[in-house]
Amino acid sequence: MSSEQDPTIYSVAREAQVSISTVSRVLNSPNLVKQETRDKVLAAIDRLQFVPKAAAQAQAKKQLGRIGVLTPFFTHPSFVQRMRGVSSVLAANSYELVIYPVESMGQVLHYLETLPVTRRLDGVITMALSVDDSIANRFLSNHFPIVSIEFAHPSFCNVLVDNFEGGRLAAEYLLKKGHTDCGFIGDGGLPDYAIRPSEDRYRGFRQFLLKNGGKLADVHVIFPSPGDVPAQIQKLLNHHHRPTAIFTASDELAMQVLSVARKNGIRIPNDLALIGFDDLDFASHIGLTTISQQLDESGRIAAELLLKRIHDVNKPKQNVTLQFSIVERDTV
């Protein structure tokens, strides 16, 4: 442990036994640094409690007026809608929204490891990303506010979505409508750094359905990769014993079912009932029965929780679990 009162980049370099330029690259371009070296430098930063000069100035000013959002699916309609809720709160409070799209595990680690240290933001919201304890400790030790959506960590404020309950609700609804022979379509081919909500929706759907006299044959359950969705839906709808109702883990998948069904002369809901999940903006336009998970509201709540933590880092942590509701339209 260094004896310097205010450790500098030189202190970190000596502690990690690397060059100053290597420390700089770890903070600004970590993809150019080997993982082993990066770990050494980050460990030295943690031990010395080093704060870069720009970050120290930001701390002195108290706020930068910038909030970051990390998400692996920033172009997906559900995330755009959730982001709309975030931005509405930030705009009303004169904060700039900075989106950090992640496309690899390396990018996830880069942002989560360096943002609490470089302090280019006042706080961050993560969407559908898991955070391990070592990363969480870095946020805590640097007093850097973070709110997580769809992933619960005991050290953070969390906006939670009970996807298992969402699946259970879909099964209960279809059974009440007289559909006992059902199918399920989930999202496949997801990256390993993202959480998988459709798997929890499937488990909740399957458990309630089977416990209450329903059927869910293995051939009626698919998790197609993005490029294979239409072909897999076609195969499911052409099966000699087609289910009478299908629950899709998202409205986007439901819309693709509608498209394939129309091409094959399958009438919805006369020949096949369909229920989606999310209640995206377009769902009302196409008459889709779906489960609303309050996407805009989840973004608003996350932003409000984060601003409260920014203004008072010692404010008690909160977990907010959003309630689902069935939005009945024309497809069931």
pLDDT of residue 62: 56
Residue 234: phi and psi, rounded to 5, are: -55, -45
Domain boundaries, the chain: 62-161+298-323, 163-292
pLDDT of residue 249: 97
Class for domain 62-161+298-323, per CATH?
Answer: alpha beta
DSSP state letter for 65: S
Domains 62-161+298-323 and 163-292 in one fold: yes
The pLDDT tens digits of the residues spanning 30-76 come to 767 888 888 888 877 778 777 766 555 455 455 678 999 998 877 78
Judged on CB neighbours under 10 Å (0-12, 13-18, 19+), 107 is middle
Q: How many CA atoms lie within 13 Å of 135's alpha carbon, on the beta-carbon side? A: 17
Window from 7-11, 171-175, 287-291 with minimum mean pLDDT = 7-11
Maximum distance among all Cα pairs of the chain, rounded to whole angstroms? 77
Structure tokens at 332: 């069931």
Window from 36-45, 159-168, 321-330 with minimum mean pLDDT = 36-45
Q: Which amino acid is at 156?
A: F
* Sign of the torsion formed by the C-alpha atoms of 244, 330, 230 and 198: negative
Superfamily name and number for 163-292: Response regulator (3.40.50.2300)
Please give the mean pLDDT across all residues of the chain.
88
Confidence of residue 4 (pLDDT cuts 50, 70, 90): very low
pLDDT of residue 165: 97
Q: How far apart are CA 188 and CA 200, in angstroms?
A: 13
Mean pLDDT computed over 297-311: 95
pLDDT at 211 over 80: yes
Residue 331: phi and psi, rounded to 5, are: -105, 5
Mean pLDDT computed over 238-252: 95
What is the rounded radius of gyration, in angstroms, for the C-alpha atoms of the chain? 23
pLDDT of residue 159: 96
Structure tokens at 312: 């008072």
Does residue 3 or residue 310 have the better pLDDT?
310
Helix (H) or strand (E) holding 159: strand 157-160
Chain centroid to CA 28: 25
DSSP state letter for 31: G
